[in-house]
Amino acid sequence: MATKKHTGRLSFLQLLALAANVAVVLALITGFFAAYVPPSKYWIPAFIGLAFPYLLIVNLFFILFWFFTRRSLALLPLIVTLICWQRISGYFQTGLFNDKVRTEHPVDVMTYNVRLFDLYKWKNNKISEDASAMFGLIASEKPDVLFIQEYHAGRKGKVTIADSIRKYSGLKYSHLSQVLKKGKTQPYGIATFSKWPIVSKGVIRFSSNPANVCIFTDIVHYKDTIRLFNIHLESIQFSREDYLFVNDLKNNADEQEEVSVRLRSMARKLKAAFISRSVQAQKVADEIERSPYPVIVSGDFNDTPSSYAYHRISHGLADAFIRSGRGISQTYAGPFPSFRIDYILYDQDRFAVSDYRKINQKYSDHLPVKARLYLLSDE
């Protein structure tokens, strides 16, 4: 039976759908180019980039809608979807085309933003149940390299976190960097633990926010030296009131003026964070490019796979989720829409990857991520 051809003028409903589809297409293209536009120069694409996967899903519905109502109009959303499709690999993977290379001496890598080991629930100089569970999780996963963001050193003379991590993980070597604020060393920062000896260390500090930092650590893995980058980029700095507002947004819907003021405040914080991360990412990317050794780059980027920060840092590197992941990999476990903001990247010419997974244990507002890397021969 021949397919019925739709001819003549568009109905009012179709005109509305076409206008909506054009708006979605324009937003989708803008979100796609967010990866290439520094927010420090033009910040609007960064906002739209946050919605990229949702815009793509809506665009897919428009393809189906036009296919059944006015087939010729399906061409526009179809072309745009094909152009943007590669970007969706950062959000979703089938697992059908994963790396199959295996070599001896793998490196099991784990990255984890521990939210200060749940510090604010410690009582009587004893860590909280969630912090204790984090140590148990690290012990059960047995990583060879552990990247920790929002590390807390513990309470002097009471709780020493580094000793606990060494005890539970068996990782003897560590690179700890604590925040310098107003000339004083704070008890929190970032930390890398390794099974293999550390031969060199370095720190990249960001002038925009001393609480965010990147450290790089050179380890000797059998006969090879590997440079490890542990990154914690600028967070959004939402206040407790912001989180309460989002959680209670439905109840606040009638208070339009208050909602408007709060949304503008949150938008300003998002804008400032986008701009700070773009500058920080550039600084980190420059250091990665100067590395004389194969690199493993990991940490909390506080930004999505559509972002400029991710695109700049991952340039020339492979993403463990894209090469070896499966399904949807959200790593943020807080009250806002869940995105993948924690990453394991690596030198694609020197490593292969397998067994990427996120660990679905919500002891922090981030989920830990783990992957197995294999160092390839350079012969």
Q: What is the pLDDT of residue 75?
A: 95
Q: What is the mean pLDDT of the chain?
A: 89
Q: What are 117-158's pLDDT values in tens digits?
A: 999 888 877 889 999 999 999 999 999 999 999 999 987 656
- In this structure, of 238-252, 257-271, 290-304, the range with the lowest mean pLDDT score is 238-252
Using the predicted structure, report yes or no on whether residue 80 has a pLDDT greater than 60. yes
What's the sign of the alpha-carbon dihedral 254, 256, 257, 261? positive
Task: List phi, psi (to 5°) of 39.
Answer: -60, -25
**Would 358 be classed as within a structural domain?**
yes
127 with 84, same domain: the answer is no
User: pLDDT over 70 for what percent of the chain?
Assistant: 88
Q: What mean pLDDT is predicted for residues 10-18?
A: 92
77 with 145, same domain: the answer is no
Using the predicted structure, report yes or no on whether residue 243 has a pLDDT greater than 60. no
52 with 131, same domain: the answer is no
348 with 275, same domain: the answer is yes
- In this structure, of 96-110, 141-155, 181-195, 246-260, the range with the lowest mean pLDDT score is 246-260
Q: What is the pLDDT of residue 3?
A: 47
Which of these three, 26, 56, 88, is where a domain ends?
88
Q: Structural domain of residue 326, as residue ranges?
A: 107-375
Better pLDDT: 336 or 83: 83
Using the predicted structure, report yes or no on whether residue 252 has a pLDDT greater than 70. no
Cα–Cα distance, 276 to 308 (Å, whole number) = 11
Q: What is the pLDDT of residue 360?
A: 94
Q: What is the pLDDT of residue 310?
A: 98
Q: What is the pLDDT of residue 151?
A: 96
Confidence of residue 263 (pLDDT cuts 50, 70, 90): confident
82 with 172, same domain: the answer is no
208 with 357, same domain: the answer is yes
Element (H, E) at 179: strand 173-181
Cα–Cα distance, 340 to 21 (Å, whole number) = 27
Q: What are 203-215's pLDDT values in tens digits?
A: 999 988 888 999 9
Q: What is the pLDDT of residue 229?
A: 98
Cα–Cα distance, 5 to 198 (Å, whole number) = 69
Q: What is the pLDDT of residue 1?
A: 44
- In this structure, of 38-47, 185-194, 247-256, the range with the lowest mean pLDDT score is 247-256
Q: What mean pLDDT is predicted for residues 349-366?
A: 94
Tokens 């959303």, residue located = 77
176 with 213, same domain: the answer is yes
Assign residue 362 the CATH number of its domain. 3.60.10.10
Which of these three, 33, 60, 88, is where a domain ends?
88
Using the predicted structure, report yes or no on whether residue 166 has a pLDDT greater than 90. yes
Cα–Cα distance, 310 to 229 (Å, whole number) = 14
Cα–Cα distance, 198 to 24 (Å, whole number) = 50
Distance of CA 158 to the CA centre of its chain: 33
Number of domains in the chain: 2
234 with 279, same domain: the answer is yes
Question: Which residues, in sequence order, are bridge partners of residue 69?
Answer: none
156 with 23, same domain: the answer is no
Q: What are 20-76's pLDDT values in tens digits?
A: 999 999 999 999 999 999 998 999 999 999 999 999 999 999 999 999 999 999 999
64 with 183, same domain: the answer is no
Better pLDDT: 199 or 7: 199
**Would 259 be classed as within a structural domain?**
yes
